[in-house]
Amino acid sequence: MNKTQQKIAAGLERAFAEHGFTELGVDGLRLAADVSLRTLYKYCPSKEAMIIMALEHRHSRYLAYLFEGLSGNRQQIADELLNRVGRWMDESVSEGCLFHNAVVSYPHSEPIRNLLEQHKTDVTEKMATVTQLVERRSTLLLIHEGIVQSWPILGVTAIESAKALLIPLLSETD
């Protein structure tokens, strides 16, 4: 991505996170991206393309935020990983998962649905690798999704509950 694309992607991601996928029209999205309408359409010829660009940007930011620089034993890594999920949720104007919200807003978009699936697969695979719980991928997915989807209701309690579920899994495989 060039600098203009990065700027557009970051602005669109922020706008969709703050306003959802249906509230803002193209002019509002153009303002959020801080580019001309012509430039916005050059890189994103449709609203679906704008959503895809924003989600791809969020995906790479999220993976970097969660997994870069993790160190320590499995217990420390798992603890820090869940703390990072909580900080992300707290700092990211979050009403649940932006990928799920995009699919709800555009249920017939196969590219958006594919991005949701890819995002969840990548997060789960990386969680399984860093915690060395490769055989428990589906459990890790449920723990992660439980945090993300319950965050608007539970807040930080979601992290505490997730740790209570994950710690016994780590002990089982030691």
Measured distance CA(155)–CA(94) in Å, rounded: 10
C-beta separation of 115 from 59 below 8 A: yes
- Which three-class secondary structure state does DSSP give residue 167? helix
Q: What's the mean pLDDT in 56-66?
A: 97
Residue 93: the pLDDT is 63
Measured distance CA(50)–CA(43) in Å, rounded: 8
The mean pLDDT of the chain is: 94
- Domain extents in the chain: 3-172
Question: Which bin fits 69, alpha (ψ -120 to 50), beta or left (φ > 0)?
Answer: left
Residue 33: the pLDDT is 96
Residue 41 pLDDT greater than 90, yes or no? yes
Q: What's the mean pLDDT in 34-56?
A: 96
For residue 44, report the phi and psi dihedrals to the nearest 5 degrees.
Answer: -140, 90
Tell me the pLDDT band of 74, cut-offs 50, 70 and 90: very high
Measured distance CA(89)–CA(128) in Å, rounded: 20
Residue 77: the pLDDT is 96
pTM: 0.93
Tell me the pLDDT band of 92, cut-offs 50, 70 and 90: confident
Residue 94: the pLDDT is 66
Measured distance CA(129)–CA(122) in Å, rounded: 11
Q: What pLDDT, in 10s, does the model give residues 96-114?
A: 799 999 999 999 999 999 9
Domain 3-172's class?
Answer: mainly alpha
C-beta separation of 148 from 97 below 8 A: yes
C-beta separation of 102 from 56 below 8 A: no
Torsion of CA 55, 61, 67, 69, to 10 degrees: 170
Residue holding tokens 């945090």?
Answer: 147
